[in-house]
Amino acid sequence: MALMTSEEYLQSLGKMKPTVYVDGERVGNFVDHPLIRPAINITAKMYAMAQDPDYEGVLNTTSHLTGRKISRFNHIYQSTEDLQRALSMLRVTNQAVGACNMRCLTKELINPLYDTTFEIDRECGTDYHRRFKDYLIFLQDDDRMASAGVTDAKGDRRLRPSKQFDPDLYLRMVDKNEKGIIVRGAKMHQTGALTAHYLNVVPTTILDEDEKDYAVAFATPSDAPGLIHVFGRHALDERRYTGADLGNIKYDMHETMIIFNDLFVPWERVFMCGEYRFTGPLVENFIANHRYSYGGCRPGTFDVLIGAAKLIAEYNGIDRASHVREKLTEMSFLNETMWACAVAAAVQGVKKPSGWYQPDKLLANVTKLHVTSIPHELGKLAIDLAGGIVATLPSEKNLNNPEIGPLVRKYLRTKAELPVEDRMRIIRLIEFLVQGVTIPADYFGGGGPATQKMIIERETNFEYKKRLAKIIAGITEEDSENKAGKMMIDGVVAGCCDAYGRESCPLTQRS
């Protein structure tokens, strides 16, 4: 089957019947709901871009399983170049929608699951990898989107899943039979859940032997009976009802809390069931893959913010002031830092035995840790350039009132030749990008900063660096056993160079 057009995508969603609640009320036609449609518009844009010859090489690629043309969002990385191309795709697509591109959620879980199912089968003689590849070919060939269910309700964060006062605070299998398994629990913050055809689900944390029932991974249609989507609110969501003062006029974020109310999953869609020892590798795979991605998509969104900041500076007549130029330059500097860290994580990616390329774990976490602070800084700088009016601008609806419309227009104008609407819309866009949903999402998508620090600490080769210091300080002599040369190569291999996947390490030229 060929790749879907955006119309075919919308039709495919129209046939689905998910259970959806918004603000306490059951939603019938979710596709046209004013709070959900803007997110569906985003995904439809992804399908449209894939049809555009200009984006051919960006959004599409060839399946390593079938040799057929597929969406790059549904691809398993086969090289460090694939890792880099994914970043370019993320930046371009976020630029196009000025928000999350939604569809990248598919690649976030298919990549780690591909690798982990391979490893489980290899060690346990199970059948997961075959099942997963069948499912993957189905997604690829039908050009489907699948969102990603990771974060559990979690309850008391001090306590392990099995020690919570309610055992369902982490999603778990509550029953199984010969046809499949029954799962119960909830997944929070499900970006793109209602723009997707399928939902992939994995555990959110590393599990112990007595937590086998929590060690489940699977896929399910987004409208399966037993799944309930509860709409998550954003700061500016209600404006979508009136359609005014939107900032981003066509696109918006969308997250749901998904409740698994004793959902049935057939065995063919179960990819882990009790193999708790593989939750560690699965989480690691997910983390590396998800966290490096933020260095692709966020710079795309913030390209839009930087453009808006430059425009509002021009509209206000301050664009040549040196402090304004300094701030715009700072915005670019910070934005490119996120990008550069992700590119380096991609370049230093490593090939796993399954054939999948994993981004460098250390640099993937360095990337994401920047994404927990740089967006705040960018938001602050954009507000600095736009002024306090971001928080006090009257509604654009006033312009249509015959009595005050002309007066509001008169006083919000800054230059004779500049339409007032342009200035108001750019201010609203900055409000959308800064006051809207993005920043907390940046903070916590893929885990808050404390979790990145944990990995950075672990992936840093402190022992190697200590030995360097001892030699330089004259505490340890270099000798045959403790040779600087060897140590350094080893150290760099551990620290960055096995990045090159051992086949082509530029340090050693050995493979």
Span from 2-10, 95-103, 115-123, 218-226 in contact with its own copies (CB under 8 A): 95-103
C-alpha to C-alpha distance for 58 and 103, rounded to whole angstroms: 14
Binding mask 302-321 for its own copies (x = CB under 8 A): -xxxxxx-xx----xxx-xx
Contact yes or no for 309/430 (Cβ under 8 A): yes
Identify the residue among 341, 350, 371, 420 touching its own copies (CB under 8 A).
Answer: 341
DSSP 127: S
Identify the residue among 97, 104, 217, 283 touching its own copies (CB under 8 A).
Answer: 97
Give Cα 409 distance to the centre of its chain.
Answer: 40
Interaction with its own copies in 13-32: which residues (CB under 8 A)? 21-26
Identify the residue among 248, 289, 293, 354 touching its own copies (CB under 8 A).
Answer: 248
Interaction with its own copies in 472-491: which residues (CB under 8 A)? 472-475, 483-486, 488-489, 491
11 binds its own copies, rule: CB under 8 A: no
Residue 225's SS3 state is coil
Interaction with its own copies in 45-84: which residues (CB under 8 A)? 49, 52, 54-58, 81, 84
Q: Could you tell me the smallest distance in angstroms from the CB atom of residue 145 to its own copies? A: 19
| 360 Ramachandran zone, left/alpha/beta (phi>0; psi -120 to 50) | beta
460 binds its own copies, rule: CB under 8 A: yes
Interaction with its own copies in 150-179: which residues (CB under 8 A)? 151, 153-159, 165-166, 168-169
199 binds its own copies, rule: CB under 8 A: no
192 binds its own copies, rule: CB under 8 A: no
Query: CA separation (Å) from 117 to 107, 111, 443, 444?
Result: 15, 10, 29, 27
Q: Smaller CB distance to its own copies: residue 15 or 241?
A: 241
Q: What is the Cα Rg of the chain in Å?
A: 25
Span from 36-44, 111-119, 211-219, 464-472 in contact with its own copies (CB under 8 A): 464-472
C-alpha to C-alpha distance for 430 and 423, rounded to whole angstroms: 11
445 binds its own copies, rule: CB under 8 A: yes
- How many positions of this chain bind its own copies (CB under 8 A)? 185
Residue 270's SS3 state is strand
Q: Could you tell me the smallest distance in angstroms from the CB atom of residue 142 to its own copies? A: 24
Backbone angles phi, psi at 468, to 5 degrees: -55, -50
Contact yes or no for 84/346 (Cβ under 8 A): yes
Could you tell me the two tokens for 340? 């550069």
Give Cα 475 distance to the centre of its chain.
Answer: 46
Identify the residue among 43, 71, 88, 200 touching its own copies (CB under 8 A).
Answer: 88
C-alpha to C-alpha distance for 153 and 158, rounded to whole angstroms: 13
Amino acid letter for position 26: R
- Beta pairing, strands 60-62 & 69-71: antiparallel
Interaction with its own copies in 392-431: which residues (CB under 8 A)? 392-395, 397-401, 403-404, 407-408, 410-416, 421-422, 425-426, 428-429, 431
Q: Could you tell me the smallest distance in angstroms from the CB atom of residue 178 to its own copies? A: 28
383 binds its own copies, rule: CB under 8 A: yes
Indicate if the alpha-carbon torsion angle 256, 18, 36, 445 is positive or negative.
positive
239 binds its own copies, rule: CB under 8 A: yes
Could you tell me the two tokens for 215? 């060690």
Span from 118-126, 204-212, 267-275, 373-381 in contact with its own copies (CB under 8 A): 373-381
Question: Around Cβ 128, how many Cβ atoms within 10 Å?
Answer: 22
DSSP 197: S
The three-state DSSP-derived secondary structure of 375-390 is: HHHHHHHHHHHHCHHH
Span from 175-183, 201-209, 269-277, 362-370 in contact with its own copies (CB under 8 A): 362-370
Q: Smaller CB distance to its own copies: residue 122 or 458?
A: 458
